[in-house]
């Protein structure tokens, strides 16, 4: 079958691979390290061997372009209240059976409706809407590497900020290079059991954890998301191990979002996560010593608030993605007791910066 003109537009030489005998290539972008015969596409669905060289099939091909609140990523401690231009393509290097975005993560570049947006076009959109934040999100952005890197460089040159919303499944070298242009990331830790990663998600836990640490070491602001899926990762024991890992390896200031699962994709046969489970995990994480713990996807409960680590009062009150009360000083100190609260950049105000 002839590729569609749209797909041809998205084909560009890929980075991070090595040539093998017989025109085979080994992709070195993510820990899968797919070995591809000519004509074959990697597990991500968007990187292909064409006549002995590796190409990305989705350079500049966007499946969604939207402006979201930054809280939706979720990021609660990075310019709270900011709008963020959010872009995605298709494909993923994981196989989560509960994927909420499976219509794009499981779509192939040939069949999906994709709009071409060159890197300069992203900066133009930033300027037109006066939104200096760009998120690479909805599908896994690391498999869109070449484009994300090119866009991210231009965004930085224009004075903007780059945010990755990612599963963290990438090799260290590509991550290290890309991290130079990344300001913040939300990384999904999808389970704290290596077997769940291997059997259910398709991948390994260890590289994800290493990459979380690597991002922090490179100065990237990191928040973590743990989606609680009934029957998969909802034991308090497993969640407790994650909390202790965060405390030991990252420290108490890393925000942890405990989010509610809703039936989707192959997991339509089970109910949403009981709110009670989410609140129990929230208490557990707070009791163990994490400062900033949130219950996500449940609007209208106190697990949406940021509490002062010293006096315990609510310093940022939210309802869903909206900030409804702000009790921090201009230098991000608690208005009640003066303790510093970890917020990068402070509350976003609409002023023309670009
Ligand atoms: Zn306080």
What are the structural domains of the chain? Answer: 5-56 (no CATH), 61-304 (3.20.20.70), 307-348 (no CATH)
Neighbours of ion ligand 1 (CB under 5 A): 308, 310-311, 334, 336-337, 339
**Strand positions, DSSP E, the chain:** 12-13, 17-19, 25-27, 35-36, 47-50, 53-56, 61-62, 64-69, 83-88, 115-116, 133-136, 161-166, 184-188, 221-228, 256-260, 293-296, 306-307, 314-319, 322-326
- What are 230-255's pLDDT values in tens digits? 999 999 999 999 999 999 999 999 99
Residue 354 to residue 352: CA distance in whole angstroms: 6
3-class secondary structure, 241: helix
- Cβ atoms of residues 30 and 170 within 8 Å: yes
Q: How confident is the model at residue 2 (pLDDT cuts 50, 70, 90)?
A: very low
282 CA to centre of ligand 1 in angstroms: 20
Contacts with 14 (C-beta within 8 Å, 6 or more apart), sequence order: 27, 29, 47, 54, 55, 56, 145, 146
337 CA to centre of ligand 1 in angstroms: 4
Say how far residue 102 (Cα) sits from the centre of its chain. 15
- Cβ atoms of residues 57 and 12 within 8 Å: no
- What are 27-63's pLDDT values in tens digits? 999 999 999 999 999 999 999 999 999 999 999 999 9
113 CA to centre of ligand 1 in angstroms: 49
* Mean confidence (pLDDT) of the chain: 95
327 CA to centre of ligand 1 in angstroms: 9
335 CA to centre of ligand 1 in angstroms: 7
3-class secondary structure, 319: strand
Q: Can you give the pLDDT at residue 7?
A: 54
Among candidate residues 344, 324, 264, 261, the one with its CA nearest the CA of residue 295: 261
- What are 275-298's pLDDT values in tens digits? 999 999 999 999 999 999 999 999
305 CA to centre of ligand 1 in angstroms: 13
Residue 75 to residue 136: CA distance in whole angstroms: 13
Pairing between β-strand 133-136 and β-strand 161-166 as defined by DSSP bridges: parallel
Residue 64 to residue 61: CA distance in whole angstroms: 9
3-class secondary structure, 26: strand
Q: Is the pLDDT of residue 4 over 50?
A: no
334 CA to centre of ligand 1 in angstroms: 5
341 CA to centre of ligand 1 in angstroms: 8
Q: Phi and psi (nearest 5°) for 225?
A: -120, 135
76 CA to centre of ligand 1 in angstroms: 18
């Amino acid at each position: 079958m002839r590729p569609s003109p749209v797909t041809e537009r998205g084909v560009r030489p890929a980075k991070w691979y090595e040539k093998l005998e017989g025109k085979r290539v080994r992709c070195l972008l993510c820990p899968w390290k797919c070995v591809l015969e000519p004509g074959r596409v990697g597990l991500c669905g968007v990187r292909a061997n064409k006549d002995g060289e590796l190409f990305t099939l989705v350079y500049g091909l966007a499946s969604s372009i939207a402006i979201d609140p930054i809280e939706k990523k979720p990021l609660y401690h990075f310019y709270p209240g900011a709008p963020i231009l959010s872009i995605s393509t298709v494909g993923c290097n994981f196989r989560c059976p509960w994927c909420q975005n499976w219509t794009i993560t499981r779509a192939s570049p040939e069949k999906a409706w994709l709009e071409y947006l060159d890197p300069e076009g992203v900066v133009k959109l930033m300027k037109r809407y006066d939104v200096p934040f760009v998120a690479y999100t909805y599908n896994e952005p690391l498999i869109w590497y070449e484009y994300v890197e090119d866009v991210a460089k231009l965004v930085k040159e224009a004075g903007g900020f780059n945010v990755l919303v990612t599963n963290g499944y990438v090799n260290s070298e590509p991550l290290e290079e890309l991290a130079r242009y990344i300001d913040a990331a939300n990384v999904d830790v999808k389970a704290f059991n290596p077997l769940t990663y291997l059997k259910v998600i398709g991948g390994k836990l260890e590289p994800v954890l290493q990459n979380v640490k690597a991002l922090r070491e490179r100065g990237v602001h990191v928040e973590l998301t743990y989606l609680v899926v009934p029957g998969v990762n909802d034991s308090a024991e497993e969640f407790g191990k994650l909390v202790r890992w965060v405390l030991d390896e990252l420290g108490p200031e890393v925000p942890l979002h405990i989010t509610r699962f809703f039936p989707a994709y192959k997991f339509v046969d089970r109910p949403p996560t009981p709110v009670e489970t989410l609140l129990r995990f929230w208490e557990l994480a707070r009791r163990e010593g994490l400062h900033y713990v949130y219950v996500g996807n449940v609007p209208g409960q106190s697990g949406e608030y940021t509490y002062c680590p010293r006096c315990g009062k609510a310093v940022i009150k939210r309802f869903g993605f909206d900030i409804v009360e702000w009790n921090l000083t201009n230098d991000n100190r608690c208005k009640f007791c003066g303790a510093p609260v970890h917020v990068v950049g402070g509350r976003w105000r609409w002023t023309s910066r670009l």
